[in-house]
Amino acid sequence: MKAAIVDRYGTNVRVGDMPVPEVGEHDVLVQIHAAGVNVLDSKIRDGEFKLILPYRLPLILGNDVAGVVAGVGPGVRKFKPGDEVYARPGKDRIGAFAEYIAVAEDDLAPKPEQLTMEEAAAIPLVGLTAWQALVEIAGLRAGQKVFIQAGSGGVGTLAIQLAKHLGATVATTTSAANADLVKRLGADVVIDYRNDDFEAVLHDYDVVLHSLDNETLKKSLRVLKPGGKLISISGPPDPGFARELGKPWILRPIMGLLSYRTRTAAKRRQVGYKFLFMRASGDQLRQITALVDSGVIEPVMDRVFPLESTAEAMAYVDKGRAKGKVVIKVK
C-alpha cells in the first residue's frame, strides 16, 4: 500500500510502499479515505516524543482517520465490512497517512452521517482533545467562563463549539482576520493577540485551555480565579502523564521536574494544573458524533492535500496559520 513514511527522526516524510497492516483479534482494518493533519504529526516526525513513545522506524504518520471497514478480526462485534467509520487510533497504533490502517475496535466510531470523509477526518483528535479537556477534566458547566487559546486552530474551533454547547462563556485569542470565524463558532470575547494583551482583559476565569508557549502559560495562570483549572496540551508534562502512559517509575520524577515551576506557580495562586495528552476513545467519539449529527458541532476545514503532498500539508500546518484543520485525501 502507499503511505507517507518517516525513515529517520528529523527528516521529512516520503511517499512509498509499506505492507498492509495485520489485523488482530479485536482489530478493524480500515480502507482510508481521508486523514487529518495535526501539529502532533510534526512533533513525532521530529522525535520530540521518542523517549516516551518509542516508535519503530520506518514509521507511517497520521493520527486522524476516516474510511470504510475492509475487514475485521474474529473478536470484533461492533463493526462489519462496508461500515463508514472514523477514529483517532491509539497512540501506539498511528499510521493514518496510508491506504489502510488496523484500528482497535474500541477506538473506532461510526462516521457522522452528515459529513464527507474529508470533514470527518478533521474531527477525531481535536474533538477528543476538546472533550477530554472540557468535559472529563474541567467538568465545564453552564455559567462558567473558559479561555480557549488559538481559537481559529484545529483544537480551538472544536473547543469553542463544545464549550458553548455546555453553556459556558467563551473567550479566545486569534488574529483580527479570523475574528468573525470564532464569533460565528460561539466565542463571546475575542482578543486580537497581535494588538491586545489577554491578561489585561480576562479576569476570574474558571478554566483555561492552553495550547501555546510557556510565557503564555504563566500569564494564563493569572487570569484564573482561585479553584480554577489550567489544562495544557502543549506542556510541560506532569507526573500524572507518566502514570497514564504506564511508563517506568523513573520517568515520573523527570516529568515532575519538567513541570515543577508551573505546578508551584499554580499552587501559589490556588489553581490546578493538568497536562493533557489525549487518548483514543471510541465511546467519547460516539458522543461527539451525536453532537455533529444534531448540528451542535461542525468541522472547520482549511485545505485538502493529496497523499502525495503529505510533506507539503505538514509544512503548511507547521506555519501555524491554518483555519481549522488540514486534511489528506487518500481515496
CATH number, domain containing residue 161? 3.40.50.720
Q: Is 13 left (phi over 0), alpha (psi -120 to 50) or beta?
A: beta
216 plus 137 within the same structural domain: yes
The per-residue pLDDT for range 237-291, each reduced to its tens digit, is 887 777 777 665 666 777 778 888 999 999 999 999 999 999 999 999 999 999 9
| Each residue's pLDDT expressed in tens, for the chain with a length of 331 residues | 999 999 999 999 999 999 999 999 999 999 999 999 999 999 999 999 887 788 999 999 999 999 999 999 999 999 999 999 999 999 999 999 999 999 999 999 999 999 999 999 999 999 999 999 999 999 999 999 999 999 999 999 999 999 999 999 999 999 999 999 999 999 999 999 999 999 999 999 999 999 999 999 999 999 999 999 999 999 888 877 777 776 656 667 777 788 889 999 999 999 999 999 999 999 999 999 999 999 999 999 999 999 999 999 999 999 998 999 999 999 9
64 plus 146 within the same structural domain: no
7 plus 74 within the same structural domain: yes
Three cell numbers written together for 107: 477506538
130 plus 119 within the same structural domain: no
195 plus 262 within the same structural domain: yes
Distance CA 176, CA 11 (A): 35
115 plus 143 within the same structural domain: no
Structural domain containing residue 307: 2-123+299-329
Cα R_g (the chain), whole angstroms: 19
Distance CA 40, CA 43 (A): 5
259 plus 312 within the same structural domain: no
Distance CA 191, CA 171 (A): 8
160 plus 99 within the same structural domain: no
Three cell numbers written together for 4: 507517507
| Total residues belonging to the chain | 331
Residue 42: CB atoms within 10 A of its CB come to: 16
The per-residue pLDDT for range 222-239, each reduced to its tens digit, is 999 999 999 999 988 887
48 plus 22 within the same structural domain: yes
Does a structural domain hold residue 260?
yes
Using the 8-state DSSP alphabet, how is residue 98 labeled? B
**Side-by-side strand order, sheet with 224-232:** 189-192, 169-174, 145-148, 205-210, 224-232, 272-275
Q: What domain count does the chain have?
A: 2
Does a structural domain hold residue 293?
no
